[in-house]
Amino acid sequence: MNGTTRRCFAVDLHDDADQIARYRVWHRAGGPPAAVTAAIRADDVRELEIWLVGDRLFMILEQGDGYDAQAKAARDAADSDVRAWDALMRTFQKPLPFAPDRTWVEMERIYALSEQPGPDGEASPTDRDGAPTSL
């Protein structure tokens, strides 16, 4: 099998402009330690993006069929570089209000355009910025 599964997660950052700027620097191309990037790729993560708005982070993770969350957690726990990175990132992050003991809470998909009825090629109405107007 050669499938890909997309999962999405959210966490907040401490609402401090300097801290958020530092977090952004750590995530620029080449910012994360090479060992951390290698560990992510070794677990069949095909793509990983982090998006920021205000102090809220949104992560999109695309995993292949070889991804095993429990095995990844065990490997990460045994890897000193990954543990150090995680500890550093947690200094910037704060849990979401409804999940005080967790970071990177998995989100539930509640809408997909591809699952909506309608004629092929029909575009969603958008506002002036190109964002959907009524979703």
Residue range 57-65: mean pLDDT, rounded: 97
> What predicted TM-score, i.e. pTM, was given to this entire model?
0.83
Partners of 47 in beta bridges? 62
Residue range 60-80: mean pLDDT, rounded: 94
Q: How far apart are CA 55 and CA 94, in angstroms?
A: 10
| Residue 19, CA distances (Å) to 37, 47, 56 in order | 22, 25, 13
pLDDT at position 128 over 60:
no
pLDDT the model gives residue 78? 96
pLDDT the model gives residue 119? 80
CB 89 within 8 A of CB 81: no
Tens-place pLDDT, residues 47-58: 999 999 999 999
Question: In this structure, what token pair is assigned to residue 29?
Answer: 């191309």
Residue range 62-89: mean pLDDT, rounded: 95
At 44, the pLDDT band (50, 70, 90 cuts) reads very high
Active site residues: 14
CB 96 within 8 A of CB 12: yes
CB 8 within 8 A of CB 106: yes
Using CA atoms of 38, 42, 45, 46 in order, give the dihedral in degrees to the nearest 10: 80
What value does the mean pLDDT of the chain take? 91
pLDDT at position 37 over 90:
yes
